[in-house]
Structure 1
Amino acid sequence: MRKNVLVIDDEWNMRNLLKIYLSSEYTIYEASDAKEAFEVLSIEDIQAIILDIMLPKKDGWEICREIRLRSQIPILMLTALDELKDKVYGLDIGADDYMVKPFEPAELTARMKALLRRVNASDPSHEKVLNFKHGLLKIEMEAREVTVKGHKIDLTPKEFKLLSLLATSPKRVFTRDLLLDMVWGINDVLDDRTVDTHVKNIRIKVKKICPSYNPIKTVWGVGYKFNELDEGR
């Protein structure tokens, strides 16, 4: 079945170019600003979004944040900015990948395929609510909420994605490189410390409510796994 892709860009030439590149494999919807984008999202089943940063009224970063409050649709940011801090910022607020203009058609199509493969491989949507340790930890996928002993903890988009990914495959050990690829979607602007920092932040937030519970176990020399039995660090 063809995937539906929403292109959000205020330049008609760029929207048309993306449509030419992708329409052989995807059904393309278009929006020139935030208002049009959310109108499309309200009536169509969109599986991926290509989002330009430089937009009128609301920029791509603000739109990305708003989308992440409602949905986990994969987002590919498209921009003329090539600064590392801009890439990191976009990824941190919930974007899944990042492309800099100008780009080659082959790179765009390859990134779209990789993005959708990652999302399909890590999609936990078949389970709307995950419960662990007799309800001590609960993850509500659609609401994007995590509670510990009934108390909600505030996770960033990437922290939520990281914890839910580990929790939906509790027997699996994930390397840091794999987590970078599946959670952030791009390896060349980040390093292993990014994963370590997010794991540390999740642990701190959980332990503020339940000091004895550690949801993520370190597998020394390999990476991390979800800690079903609270076996320690």
Structure 2
Amino acid sequence: MTDPIAPQILIVDDARDIREPLGQYLRKHGFRTRLAAHAAEAREVLAEAAIHLVVLDIMMPGEDGLSLCRWLVAHNGPPVLLLTAMADETDRIVGLELGADDYLVKPFNPRELLARARAILRRAPPEPGRPPRGRRAFAGWVHDPDAMTLSGTDGRTVDLTTAENRLLGILLDQPRAVLSRTTLLDLAAGREAKAYDRAIDNQISRLRRKIETNPKNPRILVTEWGGGYRLVADVTDAG
């Protein structure tokens, strides 16, 4: 049985005969995996699951892998391992220039992909800001930053994306304080990405959908007009 806090890898490839066997192989070697057949499906997974690495095929119908890679880097997403065709040297170079962490040429040996994935995860930078914190309770939730999850008093467990996990940790560090968008961007920027105020707004909206009873009328994570955002809750250590 896979460890529930093991790193989770998203495999994005339109070829079913690649993504499904690869998912099984990575699970066999201790990783959790999610699968997506195209970029739109990958975005849905990234919005609701804690993903530590994206294995991304460049050549896909619709939005291609380079476009999704660009979006991931711009939105401070997880590291990217590109899968490329033998003849696509230009695409490999462009992918690395966009911010991909590594690439692998098809056809590839799964053992090599496993080794490259482990290497990327080992060198992934720690989250910026304060040192890692343990589990903390607030407003009927317990945040586990290592597992990137929220546990509710009703027994529900909610996955957080890397960006959501980082942002929530920052808010929990300073409960009831008004944090401007600029401050949140400065504290949350974990990669050299060109982030914008709107990126923080989008992450706040996604967090509200996960923690608020009524996200349209938030009571926990409130907006301070002209100021930024404030977590309105007491925060305690949860062991």
TM-score normalised by the chain length of structure 1: 0.53
Structure 1 residue 34, shift from structure 2 partner:
1.5
Contact 2:128 2:189 in 1 (8 A): no
Bigger mean CA offset, 72-81 vs 6-15? 72-81
Aligned residue in 1 for 2:12: 8
Equivalent runs, 1:184-195 vs 2, <5 Å: none
Root-mean-square deviation (Å): 2.7
Gaps of 5+ in 2: 131-165, 171-182, 196-239
Aligned residue in 1 for 2:21: 17
Contact 2:6 2:32 in 1 (8 A): yes
1:117 to 112, 119, 122: 122
Structure 1 residue 144, shift from structure 2 partner:
6.7
Tell me, in whole angstroms, the C-alpha distance in 2 between the residues paired with 1:96 and 1:74. 6
Identity %: 37
2:188 to 142, 151, 160: 142
Paired positions, count: 139
Equivalent runs, 1:173-188 vs 2, <5 Å: none
Structure 1 letter corresponding to 2:128: S
Structure 2 letter corresponding to 1:94: G
Structure 1 residue 68, shift from structure 2 partner:
1.4
Structure with larger RCO (C-alpha < 8 A, sep 6+): 2
Structure 1 residue 82, shift from structure 2 partner:
4.1
Aligned residue in 1 for 2:157: none
Aligned residue in 2 for 1:199: none
Tell me, in whole angstroms, the C-alpha distance in 1 between the residues paired with 2:92 and 2:65. 12
Match of 2:188, SS state, is coil
Moved segments of 4+, more than 6 Å: none
Matched, 1:69 2:115: no
Structure 1 residue 96, shift from structure 2 partner:
0.5
Structure 1 residue 83, shift from structure 2 partner:
4.2
Matched, 1:39 2:44: yes
TM-score normalised by the chain length of structure 2: 0.52
Tell me, in whole angstroms, the C-alpha distance in 1 between the residues paired with 2:109 and 2:72. 27
Distance 1:124 1:15, change over 3 A: same
Tell me, in whole angstroms, the C-alpha distance in 2 between the residues paired with 1:11 and 1:39. 19
Contact 2:84 2:92 in 1 (8 A): no
